[in-house]
A and B are shown apart, each in its own frame.
Chain A
Amino acid sequence: MNPRDAILGAIRASLGHEPADAANVAREAEALIAAPARFQPKFDNETNRSRFMARATSERLTATVDEVGALSDAPGAVRNYLVRANLPLSIARPPAALLRDLDWGDVSGHETLSPDEPVAVNIADWAIAETGTLVFTSRPDSPTLFNYLPLHHVILLDGGKILRYPEDYWAKVRQSGAAHPRSTNFITGTSGTADIEGQNIRGAHGPRFMHIVIFGGAP
């Protein structure tokens, strides 16, 4: 008997009941997570934006944040960051139209990534306020590695795209009816590790520095 049949057979033998009706199982599963407010951390006194910013800049996540009025103001904020961080005025950025079309001034951009890339700039799909998380998905104009290889990770985030809970993100995905991309990446702060004596250290293999430029959106 092939392993697949053996495994499924063993499980069925243990369960000893008739194959379940898929609709019933789905209903049961749905009921388990009904009224998610029961287990979602409440932060009623904070807006999505204020919660997101508080989490992002917390000691645990260590991101820095700039707020600008519009997307067109973002390159200026990015340039200021590069200067503050003593970085050359040269960034890696994915081949996204939104990024190409911005006026970068004297900050040069390249669309290739080297293993020791100092800084990459990307635009986030969404953010999640609960945990200060940024959401990226893999697309031809948004390769995954721009978010993991560089030392400095600079993210442009539309202030109007800060969702409250991860469940809100998954609801949007369902509503869109689109197929899932190869990867959906929830990124929360800079990379780190607690592997040596449990001490929290930032900058393991992923980015060590994160700077978020929030443009537009309600305060």
Chain B
Amino acid sequence: MQVTSHKFKENVKTALGQPNLRVALDRTTGLLTSRRRETIAAYPEYAEARTTAARIKDHTLAHLDHYLEMFEKNATAAGATVHWAQTPKQATDIIIEICRRHEAKSVTRVKSMLGEEIGIGEALRDAGIERVETDLAEHIIQLAEEPPSHIVVPAMHKTREEVADLFRLKHHDPQKTDDVAELVESARRELRPKYIGADIGISGANFLIADTGSVVTVTNEGNGELTTTLPKVHIVNVGIEKLVPSMEHCAVFIRLLARAALGTEITQYTTFYNGPRRQGDVDGPEEMHIVLVDNRRTEIFDGYMRPMLRCIRCGACMNHCPVFNAVGGHPYGFVYPGPMGAILTPAMTSLETAGDLPNACTLNGRCQEVCPVNIPLPDMMRRLREEQWQRALTPASMRYGLGFWAFAAKRPWLYRLGTRLSVAMLRLLAGSKGRITSLPLAGAWTRHRDMTAPQRGTFMDQYRRRRQP
């Protein structure tokens, strides 16, 4: 997918100028966050589940090679073919080759953010293969020709009115009103024939079970199973970090994922796939291919960002992020928005490209608080900023500014002098009003809000004076 993270500030400007976006955001994250709060409140064992989940992920990562090999062995024994891909191109080459071998004309897809990462959409287009997105949200953004703006509800940037207009334009038998239930009906009608006609179904995976070689998907709509059961071939593209040791370990995550993402105890469909159809099966694919994708995960694994690999893609962090709620997902410019995106985007592209992302953060900590696997997101934001500083990627103005400030801060007498002067200047600007509406050199503050006038005399000066007889 086209990365636009380097244009973050421009993207933000565009986003802030879209009133519909704000409406859509408020409606969606408002519901998701309040439901999550209720469901977690009704699950007293949540804290224990969360601690256990983080430990399971850390344990699995600490033995990732062992579990990957175990998975490969068991999946192969079940009749699946396991492929390995280091880069997006290797992954899409494998997938397109399978499609070509089967002379596939039409492919149905279940939402997979990893699929976006590797650019499967573009690869299918370039190979002249029809791609039918079957998740409602993916279907919407496919019709609108837009990138996803959220990892769980990718079309959340659109109001229902905008979706209604889109369907009226593009569907064969569209709905009559803007009622959301009717919109869903219209999509159901539109997509039904496509499931039957698909040669190949491509999905991602929420979890990989090492001791059985199973692939697990967690979905709501039913499109997942229709996509993976009807066609002759099922291809799974999945990140290497999705492993868990066993079904019982997976059960801990299943309790957390839907609660964190949507505020429900469990999604409608949790499906455990174990190889292609067996002798005598009436339905199911004849071939199952599992493409294990690295795409910089081994690099992430190797440094301070390793905890990011615990992520189960619930989206809670972005739902609760004030920055995400102000600008939506598109400004982040890549597959993953919000706090997890601010870490993964520099990791999967570069700090040069995505330098704004870890900086556009108030470090308020709500993301980590709601993360079901307790990923230390704010700490990693800071570490990314540290890396920028060490690699001299921080803007010069910032480096000089901090340098001067540090020089003074280490010399109290100089610091006091500087403070006194600043206070005097601010008081002059404020006059008798008590506030400043326009600050030279700090226009960023006064663009949108007033600056309070300082009181007369710094604390240290007044304190010293009061102490002297």
Contacts and interface: CB of A to CB of B under 8 A. Distances in A.
Interface stretch (A39-47, A75-83, A85-93): A39-47
A84 interface: no
B443 interface: no
Interface string B274-285: 111110111110
B65 A138 contact: no
Contact of B267 (A3, A149, A170, A188): A188
Contact of B281 (A26, A42, A143, A187): A143
Contacts of A32: 52, 55-56, 59, 249
Interface string A6-48: 1110111111000110100110110011001011111000000
Contact of A197 (B90, B156, B269): B156
B437 interface: no
B254 A166 contact: yes
Interface string B114-156: 0000000000000000000011110010000000000001111
Contact of A204 (B153, B220, B255, B262): B220
Given A14-B298, A191-B220, A145 B283 contact: yes
A165 B33 CA distance: 27
Nearest to B297: A7
Contacts of A133: 266, 270
B277 A33 contact: no
B136 A193 contact: yes
Contact of A2 (B78, B84, B299): B84
Nearest to A40: B45
Nearest to A113: B283
B106 interface: no
A191 B191 CA distance: 15
A47 B269 CA distance: 24
Contacts of B262: 194
B8 interface: no
A144 interface: yes
A195 B137 contact: yes
Contacts of B276: 182
B278 A205 contact: no
Contacts of B97: none
A15 B62 contact: yes
A116 B281 CA distance: 22
A198 B281 contact: no
A191 B222 contact: yes
B269 A42 contact: no
B262 to A, nearest CB: 6
B160 A196 contact: yes
B249 A33 contact: yes
A53 B44 CA distance: 22
A29 B249 contact: yes
B293 to A, nearest CB: 9
A184 to B, nearest CB: 4
Contact of B226 (A11, A149, A188, A201): A149
Contacts of B30: 198
A206 B268 contact: yes
A108 interface: no
A60 interface: yes
Contacts of A20: 63, 66
B207 interface: no
B388 interface: no
A211 B276 CA distance: 30
Nearest to B270: A186
Contacts of A116: 192
B69 interface: yes
B230 A145 contact: yes
B184 interface: yes
A102 to B, nearest CB: 20
B255 A195 contact: no
B196 A115 contact: yes
B220 A193 contact: yes
A15 B292 CA distance: 20
Given A148-B226, A196-B140, 4 more contacts: A2-B84, A145-B225, A186-B270, A199-B160
18 contacts: A7-B86, A7-B298, A15-B65, A39-B252, A41-B255, A133-B266, A148-B222, A182-B277, A183-B271, A186-B269, A191-B221, A195-B137, A195-B156, A196-B184, A197-B31, A197-B159, A201-B184, A205-B223
